[in-house]
Amino acid sequence: MIVGNAAARPALLPALGAMTWLQALVALALFAPGVVAPRAHIEVWQLSMFSCAVFAVGIPASFWGGGFIARVGSLRIASLCAAAIVVGMALASLGSSAALLAAGLCLGLAMGPETPASAALLARLVTAERRAFVFSVRQTGNQIGAVCGSLALPAIAIAFGPAWCYAAVAALALLAIALFEWLRPAYAGKIVPPPKLDLRARLALVTADRRIAMLALASMPFSAMQVSLNTVFVTLGTRELGLSHIEAGMALACAQAGGLIGRLGWGYVAMRLDASRAVLIVIGLGMALCAALLGLDGGSLSRTWQFAVAALFGLTASGWNGVFIAEIARLAPQDRIGETTGAVLTASYAGLLAAPAVVSILDGVAGLGAAFFALACLALCGTVALIWGGHDKAST
């Protein structure tokens, strides 16, 4: 934990900007192979292998990384995450399947610890009433990275070749390392490493408080919904909703715009009302309704309504993360925020890992519409868990 005087709290904005840049970098790096795939002749199975490698490493890195954060500081962890991105991009540029697999393993080392490191740093810099909004701003890094990748990387790949896309991401990561190390002394404080936690103690950070346990439980279907929206919504549009490929892409763009607005808007609402859990419940109900509507009867909606529901779908299914992280930071022991966040995010990442397989199986058995309806039911169960968990203890 970090010992310091709250009255001498370091400036928030530089740390917030740095941690937002870190998440944007991680998103950009994860996005890069899929964006350059047509030009680099990367097959779908290779992209799936890459994604599985990322999560296979990212899940344990998130779970166990909290103690490392407490010992070396969040900004040093940020530098190490950026270094993993540099190595991952160098490997991906080699072009072989083995190199892409190794790149995914490296990027898992960046993806796993970055959110716990950000939570641990920002939680001690922001006041309680502003926490939800600040954490939501930080979570926009995911959309920033995705948008920049979708706009810039294809043009670079066409003009110069796929290797230059990876080089551009690596160059941004090197700049980030310089920034993180420059900022690090101002935010280091006096670090007093907490006692080491074994597996049982880390699990206890989640299970000892029912409110945190229910957050972890709800995050699994919420994450599954989010990754399914981002990866198979275009296919849903062309197969089930009667949209052309271009129209489906435009609908997904509406959803992504809704997600960006949601990350800021939900955070602002949670801050103004001081009600993060209630906002998460509304978000859960919203994503369940949108997924069920599109999955069961989306084809009968007019184009206008399909695009509107897609925007609302993104507003909820891609907009919940910042409020969620802020609620973890509020409930966690204040000297264990990084470790608690990492342990809870392990459940979230499990949802990300399981979702593609679940959707694929349900698609083969009953169709993609039925898969989205099943995700809606799971999201509704997660929302019920949030409601039930909120009655355990009085708000603090």
CA distance 162 to 258: 30
Domain boundary assignment for the chain: 11-193, 205-389
pLDDT value at residue 305? 94
pTM: 0.72
Q: What are phi and psi of 3, to 5 degrees?
A: -100, 130
Distances in Å between the Cα of 269 and the Cα atoms of 118, 130, 312, 320 are 21, 11, 16, 12
- pLDDT, residue 8, reads 52
Residue-wise pLDDT tens digits, 185-209: 888 755 545 555 556 776 777 878 8
Q: Residue 332's closest CA among 223, 190, 206?
A: 206
Can you list the residues of the chain whose pLDDT is less than 70? 1-9, 44, 48, 65-67, 189-199, 202, 390-396
The amino acid at 258: G
**Residue 173 tokens, joined:** 């990561």
In the block, which residue shows the tokens 């043009």?
155
Structure confidence by residue, pLDDT tens digits, 244-287:
877 887 888 788 888 889 988 998 898 888 888 999 999 999 99
DSSP 31-86: HHHHHHHHHHT--HHHHHHHHHHHHHHHHHHHHHHHHHHHHH-HHHHHHHHHHHHH
Report the distance separating Cα 60 and Cα 78, nearest Å. Answer: 17
Tokens of 362: 């349900």
Contact 128, 330 (CB under 8 A): yes
DSSP state string for 96-154: SHHHHHHHHHHHHHHHHHHHHHHHHHHHTTS-GGGHHHHHHHHHTHHHHHHHHHHHHHH
Structurally, what CATH architecture does the domain formed by 205-389 represent?
Up-down Bundle (1.20)
The whole-number pLDDT of residue 42 equals 77
Instruction: For residues 133 and 265, give the distance between their C-alpha atoms in angstroms, rounded to a whole number.
Output: 8
Q: Do domains 11-193 and 205-389 have the same CATH topology?
A: yes
Closest CA to 77 of 61, 54, 53, 101: 61
The CATH number given to 11-193 is 1.20.1250.20
Sign of the C-alpha dihedral, residues 33, 38, 41, 47? positive
- Cross-strand partners of 3: 190
Q: What are the φ/ψ torsions at residue 2 (nearest 5 degrees)?
A: -115, 125
Per-residue pLDDT at 4: 42
